[in-house]
Amino acid sequence: MIQKFYVGDRVVLNKEMPGNLVLCVGDLGTVCSITTSGNVGVAWDRYSKYGLHSCEGSCEDGHGWYFGRHASAISLFQEDDISISDQSMEVLL
């Protein structure tokens, strides 16, 4: 099933992409544009001057990446996806 994205959606990278040396599984971003051809532009929280761009001015330079045929590599991010048990929190503290 192809997931539909909208500008403003928070997304997470859920699998490695061929040729990508910048983004890591688990990285978060925000959909910043959807092109007429259906490519999804994502403004990633992570900055990189290597490979990331501005999605043709839709986000800050060094944060953007377009997903076309690899759009299955992203999915909607739900705040509920992150859960830390009380025991894990004690270890972190």
- Mean pLDDT for the chain? 84
Per the DSSP assignment, residues forming a β-bridge with 64 are 43, 53
Q: Greatest CA separation found in the chain?
A: 48
Render pLDDT for 39-55 as a digit per residue (tens, 0 to 9): 999 999 999 988 899 99
Q: What is the CA radius of gyration of the chain?
A: 14
Residue 85 lies in a domain: no
Which residue range(s) make up the domain with 46? 10-79
Q: Which residue has the higher pLDDT, 11 or 84?
A: 11
Residue 89 lies in a domain: no
Residue 72 lies in a domain: yes
Q: What's the number of domains the chain is made of?
A: 1
In percent, the amount of the chain with pLDDT more than 70 equals: 82
Residue pair 8/71 in contact (Cβ under 8 Å)? The answer is no
Whole-model pTM over 0.85: no
Lowest-confidence region among 4-8, 21-25, 26-30: 21-25
Q: Is the pLDDT of residue 93 over 90?
A: no
DSSP state at residue 15: S
